[in-house]
RNA sequence: CGGGGCGUAGCGCAGCCCGGUAGCGCUCUUGCUUUGGGAGCAAGAAGUCGCCGGUUCAAAUCCGGCCGCCCCGACCA
């Protein structure tokens, strides 16, 4: 395993793939565009999932599960929705195989009467159920989330960032009033912001999408947008106000207190395993993955060092004491007592896997009653007293969490610009980063800017800005919007 | 769907031009020595050379067809 990780400066894409490989997060699969999520990657996803799930429960949501297969007719109920997804759907047409001359082949006699779509998202199948569940204002709101896999038949894929099958959560809520639905949409966006910043240590900007970037079938799409190390933007999560579009398409009404039957208001919101890609490209370095302590499957690893059996016994006994102290504090800790690798190998491996803190303990340390502490994020090494180690590590993990956020925040700020003329805009966009500029609000202008610079409008900021003139047309603009080249 | 590249051991590759018993590095297995930043020695294991057909005494190598994957673009979370 003397292979090295490509330097970020040499080839950022290759670096990204190398980090995933060396951290053992995922493998390519035999099926194009799909990935195998390995135990390290899945443990990370479980920690993300658990934190998000708690936040969903704390805001009154409950989990449910809807089917993988959606009748084809459901998808076509909502005109814009079908428009958005039709080009990337896997379709099940047959139910059986049979032996043929080249092995198994599809049995033509097993063709389905109604073809099934593998869900690209679940609005339609869920709203079909909601129709049955909702009669009265007393049945509202419905606040449901599901953890699931979805399939979108993508042309080009990249591990975690865009795979044909991915894991995500999708929240689907139903409300009696527009105000309440909008409030829900904004609340869940704030949940995503909190999760991204507090757990992933990934700074994000909140905003709404322009019409062209909006979710198919939504009235308004809210998003959190983040800036990666290579100065490209990544959409990290979306929350949609769906208006009454799906209620109308699936005929979902409730009887209000005034006796009138009214269409229900809807939201949906989701984040996916794409966040893992964002996490990698926010913190990791040329030595491999860097994980924030709150999400790291292993927060602290102990690497024992010995020269002979007697030392091994002494060192492991000492390590055991450290292990128990940290374990009792609820720290996720691992003792790497493997015999067949030497310490240098282990150091490199745990670094590649992103373990936030490493403790090295050898005969010298036992003699002096101290340990060597190494931080993954800064690569700093320090000899510290064995006494009070637990408390020190607890606070150090917090420090690392904050420091990762602060560093990322500074990087984003350093690469965020405001420009007022198109020439400067083009130059800035070429160098990458977030660029705020005035836009006249027209889709044609947005399209032209995209064609000429590859930059898209990532979001319209939530807080109101100063009016001005569009950098492209000179027409009036309400406020600056955020441009970037994006993943 | 267009442009480019590549399919030979688990991984990375050489061999192909000029046909003649399939090779290198890493990995893996066993043993011994090592262990404070990716260890050393020794012995071993592992391949339908992407698939189908053709030429030939003989094909990884030459010819024809097909398939797959990766990268770059158009489309998307």
DSSP letters spanning A120-185: S--HHHHHHHHHHH-SBGGG--EEEEEEEEEE---SS-BTTTB-SEEEEEEEEEEESSHHHHHHHH
pLDDT at A120: 93
Is the N-terminal amide bond of A15 cis, ω within 30° of 0?
no
Q: Count of domains in chain A?
A: 3
CA dihedral A101→A106→A109→A113, nearest 10 degrees, is -170
pLDDT at A2: 38
Distance A337 CA to B24 C1' (A): 34
Domain shared by A388 and A426, yes or no:
no
Distance A5 CA to B21 C1' (A): 40
Q: What residue has token string 């099926």?
A: A31
Domain shared by A152 and A127, yes or no:
yes
Question: For residue A345, which nucleotide's C1' is closest to its Cα?
Answer: B38
Q: What angle do CA A197, A202, A208 make, to 5 degrees?
A: 80
A402, part of any domain: no
Choose the final residue of a domain: A396, A425, A447: A396
A147, part of any domain: yes
Question: For residue A160, which nucleotide's C1' is closest to its Cα?
Answer: B77
Domain shared by A77 and A111, yes or no:
yes
A401, part of any domain: no
pLDDT at A153: 87
Q: A104: which 2 tokens? A: 């198994």
Question: For residue A371, which nucleotide's C1' is closest to its Cα?
Answer: B36
ipTM of the complex: 0.86
pLDDT at A359: 98
Domain that holds residue A468: 416-484
Domain shared by A368 and A230, yes or no:
no
Distance A5 CA to B10 C1' (A): 20
Distance A17 CA to B71 C1' (A): 13
Quote the DSSP letter at residue A199.
I
Distance CA(A234)–CA(A483), nearest Å, equals: 12
With a CB cutoff of 8 Å and minimum separation 6, the contacts of A383 are A365, A368, A370, A371, A372, A373
Distance A100 CA to B64 C1' (A): 27
Residue A49: phi and psi, rounded to 5, are -60, -45
Query: Are A323 and A302 a contacting pair, CB within 8 Å?
Result: yes
Let me know if A44 is exposed, middle or buried by CB neighbors in 10 A (0-12, 13-18, 19+): buried
Domain shared by A144 and A260, yes or no:
yes
Counting every residue written for chain A, the total comes to 487
CA dihedral A377→A380→A386→A388, nearest 10 degrees, is -50
Choose the final residue of a domain: A343, A362, A396: A396
A53, part of any domain: yes
3-class SS at A45? helix
Distance A209 CA to B65 C1' (A): 50
Strands A333-335 and A300-304, sheet pairing: parallel
A6, part of any domain: no
Residue A447 belongs to domain with CATH number? 3.30.110.30
Distance A342 CA to B34 C1' (A): 9
Query: Are A435 and A449 a contacting pair, CB within 8 Å?
Result: no
Choose the final residue of a domain: A221, A248, A283: A283
Question: For residue A166, which nucleotide's C1' is closest to its Cα?
Answer: B77
Which spans in A384-486 are helix H?
389-414, 422-431, 443-453
A36, part of any domain: yes
Domain shared by A242 and A112, yes or no:
yes
Residue A362 belongs to domain with CATH number? 3.40.50.800
Domain shared by A320 and A426, yes or no:
no
Domain shared by A255 and A330, yes or no:
no
Residue A93 belongs to domain with CATH number? 3.30.930.10
Could you list the pLDDT tens digit for every one of the 487 residues in chain A? 335 788 888 788 888 888 998 999 988 877 778 888 999 999 999 999 999 999 999 999 999 999 999 999 998 888 888 888 888 888 888 888 887 766 677 888 888 988 999 999 999 999 999 999 999 999 999 999 999 999 998 888 889 999 889 999 999 999 999 999 999 999 999 999 999 999 999 999 999 999 999 999 999 999 999 999 999 999 999 999 999 999 999 999 999 999 999 999 999 999 999 999 999 999 999 999 999 999 999 999 999 999 999 999 999 999 999 999 999 999 999 999 998 899 999 999 999 999 999 999 999 999 999 999 999 999 999 999 999 999 999 999 999 999 999 999 999 999 999 999 999 999 999 889 999 999 999 999 999 999 889 899 999 999 989 999 999 999 999 999 999 999 9
Domain shared by A33 and A123, yes or no:
yes
DSSP letters spanning A5-74: PPPTTT-HHHHHHHHHHHTT-EEE-SSTT-EEE-HHHHHHHHHHHHHHHHHHHHTT-EE----SEEEHHH
pLDDT at A43: 96
3-state secondary structure A337-387: CCCCCCHHHHHHHHHHCCCCEEEEECHHHHHHCEEEEEECCCCCEEEEECC
Distance A32 CA to B51 C1' (A): 19
Question: For residue A342, which nucleotide's C1' is closest to its Cα?
Answer: B35
pLDDT at A79: 84
Domain shared by A24 and A156, yes or no:
yes
Distance CA(A35)–CA(A158), nearest Å, equals: 9
Question: For residue A340, which nucleotide's C1' is closest to its Cα?
Answer: B35
Question: For residue A346, which nucleotide's C1' is closest to its Cα?
Answer: B38
Domain shared by A212 and A304, yes or no:
no
Sheet with A111-118: strands ordered across: A69-71, A111-118, A91-94
Q: How far is CA A64 from CA A17, A141, A248, in A?
A: 34, 15, 23
CB atoms within 10 A of CB A218: 25
Distance CA(A364)–CA(A180), nearest Å, equals: 64
Distance A3 CA to B14 C1' (A): 19
Strand B footprint nucleotides (protein C-beta < 7 Å): 1, 26-27, 34-39, 68-77
A292, part of any domain: no
A85, part of any domain: yes
Distance CA(A424)–CA(A420), nearest Å, equals: 8
Closest residue to B1 (CA to C1') is A155
Domain shared by A254 and A310, yes or no:
no
């Amino acid at each position: 395993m003397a292979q090295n990780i490509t330097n970020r400066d040499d080839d950022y894409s290759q670096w990204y793939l190398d980090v995933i490989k060396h951290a053992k997060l995922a493998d390519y699969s035999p099926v194009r565009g799909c990935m195998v999520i390995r135990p390290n990657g899945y443990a990370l996803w479980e920690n993300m999932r658990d934190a998000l799930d708690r936040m969903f429960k704390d805001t009154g949501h409950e989990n449910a599960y809807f089917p993988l297969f959606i009748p084809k007719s459901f998808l076509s109920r909502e005109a814009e929705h079908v428009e958005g997804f039709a080009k990337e759907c896997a379709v099940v047409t047959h139910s059986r195989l049979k032996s043929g001359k080249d092995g198994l082949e599809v049995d033509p006699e097993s063709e389905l009467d109604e073809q099934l779509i593998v869900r690209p998202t679940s609005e339609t199948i869920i709203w079909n159920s909601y129709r049955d569940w909702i009669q009265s204002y007393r049945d509202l709101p419905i606040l449901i989330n599901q953890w699931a896999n979805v399939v979108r038949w993508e042309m080009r894929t990249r591990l975690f960032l865009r795979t044909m099958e991915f894991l995500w959560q999708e929240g689907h809520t139903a409300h009696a009033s527009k105000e309440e639905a909008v409030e829900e949409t904004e609340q869940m966006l704030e949940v995503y912001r909190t999760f991204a910043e507090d757990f992933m240590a990934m700074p994000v900007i909140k905003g709404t999408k322009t019409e062209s970037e909006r979710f198919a079938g939504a009235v308004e799409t809210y998003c959190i947008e983040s800036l990666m190390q290579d100065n490209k933007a990544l959409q990290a999560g979306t929350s949609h106000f769906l208006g009454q579009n799906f209620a109308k398409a699936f005929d979902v009404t409730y009887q209000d207190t005034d006796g009138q039957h009214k269409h229900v208001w809807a939201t949906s919101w989701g984040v996916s395993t794409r966040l893992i890609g964002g996490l990698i490209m926010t913190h990791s370095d040329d030595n491999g993955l860097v994980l924030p302590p709150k999400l790291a499957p292993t927060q602290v690893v102990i690497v024992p060092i010995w020269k002979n059996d007697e030392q091994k016994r002494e060192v492991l006994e000492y390590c055991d004491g450290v292990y128990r102290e940290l374990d009792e504090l609820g720290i996720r800790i691992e003792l790497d007592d493997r015999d067949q690798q030497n310490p240098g190998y282990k150091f490199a491996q745990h670094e590649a896997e992103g373990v936030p803190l490493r403790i090295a303990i050898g005969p010298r340390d036992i003699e002096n009653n101290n340990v060597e502490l190494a931080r993954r994020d800064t690569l700093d090494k320090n000899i510290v007293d064995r006494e009070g180690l637990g408390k020190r590590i607890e606070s150090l993990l917090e420090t690392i969490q904050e420091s990762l956020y602060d560093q990322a925040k500074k990087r984003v700020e350093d690469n965020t610009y405001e420009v007022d003329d198109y020439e400067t805009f083009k130059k800035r966009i070429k160098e990458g980063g977030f660029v705020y500029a005035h836009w006249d609000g027209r889709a044609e202008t947005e399209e032209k800017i995209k064609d000429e610079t590859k930059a898209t409008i990532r979001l319209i900021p939530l807080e109101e800005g100063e009016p001005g003139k569009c950098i492209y047309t000179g027409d009036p603009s309400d406020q600056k919007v955020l441009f970037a080249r994006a993943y």
